[in-house]
Structure 1
Amino acid sequence: MPVSWADVGQRWKLKLTQVDWYLFFGLMFLLFVLLGLSMAALKLNLVVNDADALPIESVVIKGTREKTTDEEIQAALRDLMRRSFFSADVNQVQAALEALPWVYQASVRREWPAKLKVYLVEQQAVAHWNGDAWLNIHGEVFDAPAEDSVGPLPFLAGPEGQSQIVLTTFRQLGELLDINGLNLNSLSLSPRHAWHASLDNGIMLELGREDKMARVQRFINVYPTLVKQPKPVATVDLRYDTGLAVGWENAQKESH
């Protein structure tokens, strides 16, 4: 039986109608899924950033502390603790703690469900630097208030950026003097790179720019002779290729 063009058109119209409904329902389903995901993401974001919903309940501090108090740590973290557990930036917490004067390094990590764990390493001062600053064991300069728990330390001085060189030189000269029964009390490097040292017995050493170790050894060699003199030694100028010049304490007082 022959099929008319009208029948063909009717069939295609029916198929297109079915396809349109399938497409419509498919798009509606996809829209509802995306809407649901968006709402879930928004709610999750609100919870994550809501300090009341998931607050930081405690901060555990580990590490040996002698100079950094609990009050200083609480003050440093006060604003950061108002955030939620997830929104708290551990890098900001670390930076806030390392900004404390006697803190050398801080490491911070989250611990579920609502705790921050902090490990602190304090500065280890080995010398005074340029009067009111400090040097740590790495020769790095840091500023911190005076601390009673820090024992007597040597006094070092020098131009900016020379702290490590000065500390290294102090250790080298100090070791040489120590094995010979003498103690180095202070060392300074002038802007013209000349070295000046003083011993704990009050003797000042002028070492100049070069051959510091050799010049100190020259002083050590003549020291037994110097202390036998009737007048106390005030200064020893070692800035000579051979020999030295001695300044006597009484002579300096008389000149004043």
Structure 2
Amino acid sequence: MAKNAKKPTKVRRVSPLKPGLSGASRLVQSRVHAGMRAATLSRSSMLRFSASVLFVFFALAFVALWLGGHLSVVRDNVDAFKRNQLMAMGFTVERIDVTGEGRLNEADVRAAVGIYEGDYFFGADLRRAQSNTESLPWVDRAVVRRLWPNRIVVQLVETAPYALYQKDGQLHLTAYDGEIIAPYDPEAGDLPSDLRLFIGDDAAQHAQSISETLQHHPAVWADTDVLTRYPSGRWDVTFRDGRVLRLPLTDLDAALRRFVALKTHTTTRYAIVDLRLADRMTLTPAYPIDA
């Protein structure tokens, strides 16, 4: 029985590497890859096409808005939406601090700044606020800046009064460069007591030049009270005791040296010392001379 028993049939396996089947496998794989590449290319083409369509759509919409004059309206609406959102988040002006307003009314400064509590913090026009503030009397310089997170700070530097200027019968305070600061107020008690008075149509504009010339002669400058400029450009100097020095049009330093020498070598009081001519000096006594 054992000898006649059939042996189990062996299953022969065909190797995928057999020459007869390897080509078919590669063909199937290549077709699969080709299909995948085609699908990928189709998706990429579709995306590029969609992007092109969207670009053309938005470009046409932009041109239509621009031609119709609605682009600014859209932009304003977007800006308003952004501003409202930020203001809702707390970005509003809560404090406005003003410093350096010695002679100025703080209310006038705040009105010139034009920024108020509750305004949009990032919408404050600092340049306009600075320009408006610097146009106020007494203001030499102004700095307006934001201080995070909700403050606006205004820093002022006031103009120092240098002289008095008489124009059309009215007295004005002027700066060193001749710029008119404000009308003169005799009730103001914080003004310097040694302000010189300049008289003449354009005396304020030339005050700096004549002042620097006189300051080279301290004895003359210390007693100077009033400086009068004539249309020709010539100056008269009136001293605190009422004496008058008439200066020439040119070569002022030489004339002032002659005057200082006269003061040094004589005790006679003169009401007028006329130095308009370079080769002579005309003296008018301060009191009548007996015959």
TM-score over 0.5 for the pair: yes
- Structure 2 residue 259 is matched with structure 1 residue 219: yes
- Structure 2 residue 272 is matched with structure 1 residue 235: yes
Distance 1:143 1:249 in 2: 37
Per the TM alignment, residue 19 of structure 1 is displaced from its structure 2 partner at its CA by 7.9
Q: 1:181 to 1:135 in 2, by over 3 A?
A: closer
Provide the residue aligned with 1:149 in structure 2. Answer: 190
> What does 1:176-255 align with in structure 2 at a 5 Å threshold?
176-178=217-219, 183-224=223-264, 228-229=267-268, 232-251=269-288
Q: Which amino acid aligns with 1:135?
A: T
Which residue of 138, 148, 173 corresponds with 1:134? 173
Scaled by the length of structure 1, what TM-score is found? 0.71
- Structure 2 residue 135 is matched with structure 1 residue 99: yes
Q: SS at the partner of 2:182?
A: coil
Q: How many residues align?
A: 225
Which residue of 127, 143, 152 corresponds with 1:116? 152
Q: SS at the partner of 1:67?
A: coil
Conserved in 2, the CA contact under 8 Å of 1:60 and 1:116? Answer: yes
Of 86-95 and 52-61, more deviation after overlay is shown by: 52-61
Per the TM alignment, residue 173 of structure 1 is displaced from its structure 2 partner at its CA by 1.1
Counting aligned pairs with the same residue, the percent is 22
CA deviation map 1:5-27 (0-9, x unaligned): xxxxxx9xxx8997897578768
Provide the residue aligned with 2:94 in structure 1. Answer: 57
Per the TM alignment, residue 144 of structure 1 is displaced from its structure 2 partner at its CA by 1.0
| Larger RCO, structures 1/2 (Cα 8 Å, 6+ apart) | 1
Q: 1:104 to 1:52 in 2, by over 3 A?
A: farther
Q: Which of structures 1 and 2 has the bigger CA Rg?
A: 2
The two structures, once aligned, show a CA RMSD in angstroms of 3.7
Per the TM alignment, residue 129 of structure 1 is displaced from its structure 2 partner at its CA by 2.2
Unaligned runs of 5+ in 2: 1-34, 59-74
> What does 1:81-96 align with in structure 2 at a 5 Å threshold?
81=116, 83-96=119-132
Scaled by the length of structure 2, what TM-score is found? 0.63
CA deviation map 1:122-163 (0-9, x unaligned): 0011111234333323x1312313243112200123444x64
CA deviation map 1:49-101 (0-9, x unaligned): x69964311122334x4212323223323x43264211111011101211221
Q: 1:42 to 1:195 in 2, by over 3 A?
A: closer
Conserved in 1, the CA contact under 8 Å of 2:83 and 2:120? Answer: no
Per the TM alignment, residue 28 of structure 1 is displaced from its structure 2 partner at its CA by 9.5
Distance 1:51 1:69 in 2: 33
